[in-house]
Every structure is written in C-alpha cells, then in structure tokens.
C-alpha cells in the first residue's frame, strides 16, 4: 500500500493526435503508409535519379489535366453526357481564417524567440537555436532539398513505429542521456556562461 501509483504514460498514438495521421505513421493503416512511401520514392527517383525538372513535371501534369477536362466537357455536351464531377474550387472564409490563425501562432512564437535572443535575455535558448541551426546546416551540406524532404518522409514513417514498439527501452536511454547533458550544462553554466556579461544585465545596471 505504501507504493506510489505508477505515472501514466501517454502512448505514441495519442501523442500524434490519435487520428488518421497517427494511424498512417504507426502503420496501423498500412495502405496509407505504403502509398505515401511509394509515391515519395517514385518522386525522388523521378526528380533526383532521372534529373527530371519539377517545373516541367508540374506544367506537363497541369497541361494533361486541362486537356482531358476540356475534351471531356466538349464530348459530354455533344453526347448529352454529364459534365466532369469537379468540386467547388475555392477556399471558404472559415478555412482561410483557421489557416491565418495557425500561421499567426507560429509566426508570433518565432518572433518571440528572435526577440529574446536579440536582447540576450535567454542564453540557454540562444545555444539551443544556434546548435539546431548549425546541425540543420551541417546535414543540409550533404543532401539537396529534395533528398532532405525524402529522408524526412522515410524517418516520419519509421521512427514513430519503432519508438512505439520499443518505447520503454528508448525512454530509459533518453532519461540517462538527458541527465548526463544536464550535468554537463551545469558545469558549463557555472564555469563559463555565468561569467559572460549579458546585455540584459547591463540594462538593469543602467536603470
């Protein structure tokens, strides 16, 4: 009775939204995963290995689509057949408002980070951003943008599934790694970072 209740752990499926996207990323709807992976592989081979131009591909697809729909509509009027079943091609005001609101949240979040870094108020955040940007720049030097996107799709279809399968073991390793990184950061903070004159401290002294 003295034992404390175990902490509830959120499943990967719940963390991903517990919807269609989570089912596809965890291969519970394997048809969707296969279609996405096969399509991404085909596009990557087409544009990267066959050196086909993206602009030419998009133009040719749109040209073929316009020609097919035009002759379909003409033949339907001549043969008294129904017109092509096209949906209403417009964005509703409600959906546009949702998109704008979501973009506003992310833009304001990015601007707040830039504001804190510029004023030197959060050195830890500055180090995270600089290390993250350096890592992206380093990885991007080995691949072009299309290959980078393809690797991201492959990882998004493999990492969540593997983490869901071995979540307990991965969490243990990550917990140990996080403790080691925290200990190293404390050492750097005590020996180096706290001795640096920050702009925020100068402003406080001037006030």
Q: What is the mean pLDDT of the chain?
A: 79
| pTM score of the predicted model | 0.59
DSSP tag of 2: -
Span 44-80, pLDDT tens digits: 888 887 777 788 888 988 999 889 888 888 887 777 7
Span 16-32, pLDDT tens digits: 777 888 888 888 888 88
Separation of alpha carbons 77 and 51, rounded Å: 41
Half-sphere exposure (Cβ direction) of 86: Cα atoms closer than 13 Å: 12
Supply the pLDDT for residue 64: 92
User: How would residue 41 be classed by pLDDT, with cut points 50, 70 and 90?
Assistant: very high
**Higher per-residue confidence, 3 vs 77:** 77
| pLDDT (average), residues 133-143 | 83
* Joined tokens for residue 23: 């089912």
Separation of alpha carbons 24 and 33, rounded Å: 5
Most confident of 49-53, 82-86, 110-114, 139-143: 110-114
Supply the pLDDT for residue 185: 78
Q: What are phi and psi of 144, to 5 degrees?
A: -85, 180
Supply the pLDDT for residue 55: 83
Helices 93-119 and 123-140 meet at what angle, rounded to 10?
Answer: 110
Supply the pLDDT for residue 203: 45
Separation of alpha carbons 176 and 198, rounded Å: 31
């Amino acid at each position: 009775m003295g034992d404390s209740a175990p902490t509830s752990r959120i499943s990967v499926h719940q963390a991903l939204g517990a919807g269609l996207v989570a089912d596809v990323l965890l291969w519970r709807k394997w048809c969707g995963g296969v279609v996405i992976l096969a399509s991404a592989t085909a596009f990557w081979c087409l544009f990267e290995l066959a050196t086909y131009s993206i602009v030419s591909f998009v133009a040719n697809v749109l040209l073929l689509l316009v020609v097919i729909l035009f002759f379909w509509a003409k033949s339907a009027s001549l043969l008294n057949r129904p017109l092509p079943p096209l949906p209403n091609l417009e964005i509703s005001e409600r959906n546009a408002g949702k998109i704008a609101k979501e973009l506003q949240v992310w833009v304001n979040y990015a601007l707040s980070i830039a504001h804190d870094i510029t004023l030197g108020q959060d050195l830890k955040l500055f180090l995270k951003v600089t290390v993250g940007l350096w890592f992206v720049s380093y990885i991007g030097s080995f691949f072009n943008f299309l290959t980078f996107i393809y690797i991201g799709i492959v990882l998004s279809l493999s990492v969540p599934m593997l983490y869901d399968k071995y979540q307990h073991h991965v969490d243990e390793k990550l917990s140990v790694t996080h403790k080691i990184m925290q200990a190293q950061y404390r050492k750097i903070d005590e020996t180096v970072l706290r001795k640096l004159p920050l702009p925020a401290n100068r402003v406080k002294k001037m006030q």
